[in-house]
């Protein structure tokens, strides 16, 4: 049902939603039913390719970013509605929720396209960078949040893997080598 090539698919397991994106910047919500899936809603989310997509651990929120229009958008999954539009002051590439399920504020880690910086942005801040983490020398190609340990794993284009704590915003190297 996409008019262009589907390039991302994420699942909100807790809320039974599947979200797909295509190269033309379209985003589609699908509801998982007992006997299959049902199309729910389509958005023209970005002006071009959606470079980053993430579902919160609770399955209630979805974030997308695009290098083409330099924006970050946050959606309410259950109501399939956009709740925040943030115009960024840098070119984003990936995004990942870093909030625990019960946290009152939504925090998203967003990477810069051509740098190793990872910016933490609170959704309600309208794009103000809460904290910048500079662990990588090269652009970040992947990252994933681990809620159980409140930590993040990030990988850059040189192959460097970093495992870091969000509380102290530091590395775990000293823990592993004691």
* 154 falls within a domain: yes
Torsion-angle region of 154 (φ positive above 0: left; ψ -120 to 50: alpha; else: beta): beta
Does 49 reside within a domain?
Answer: yes
The answer to whether position 152 is within a domain reads: yes
pLDDT digits (tens, 9 = 90+) for 26-81: 999 999 998 999 999 998 889 999 999 999 988 999 999 999 999 999 999 999 89
The reply to whether 150 falls in a domain is yes
The closest of 85, 16, 75 to 47, measured between CA atoms, is 85
CATH code, 20: 2.130.10.10
- Answer yes or no: is 112 within a domain: yes
Decide if 77 is inside a domain.
Answer: yes
- Tens digit of pLDDT for each residue in 66-100? 999 999 999 999 998 999 999 999 999 999 999 87
pLDDT of residue 169: 64
- How many separate domains does the chain show? 1
Q: Determine contact, residues 101/58, Cβ cutoff 8 Å.
A: yes
User: Is 119 contained in some domain?
Assistant: yes
Q: What is the pLDDT of residue 152?
A: 92
1 assigned to some structural domain: no
Rounded distance between C-alpha atoms, residue 158 and residue 163, angstroms: 15
Strands 6-12 and 140-146: unpaired
Domain that holds residue 13: 6-176
């Amino acid at each position: 049902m996409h008019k262009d090539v589907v390039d991302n698919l994420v699942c909100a397991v807790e809320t039974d939603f599947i979200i797909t994106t295509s190269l033309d910047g379209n985003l589609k919500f699908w509801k998982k039913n007992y006997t299959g899936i049902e199309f729910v809603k389509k958005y023209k989310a970005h002006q071009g390719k959606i470079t980053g997509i993430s579902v919160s651990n609770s399955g209630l929120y979805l974030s997308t970013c695009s290098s083409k229009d330099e924006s970050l958008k946050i959606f309410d999954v259950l109501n399939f509605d956009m709740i925040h539009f943030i115009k960024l002051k840098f070119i984003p590439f990936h995004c990942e929720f870093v909030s625990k399920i019960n946290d009152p504020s939504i925090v998203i880690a967003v990477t810069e396209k051509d740098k190793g910086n990872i910016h933490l942005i609170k959704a309600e801040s309208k794009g103000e960078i809460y904290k910048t983490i500079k662990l990588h020398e090269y652009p970040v190609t992947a990252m994933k949040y681990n809620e159980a340990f409140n930590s993040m794993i990030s990988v850059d284009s040189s192959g460097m893997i970093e495992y870091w704590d969000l509380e102290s915003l530091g590395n775990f190297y000293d823990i592993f080598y004691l």
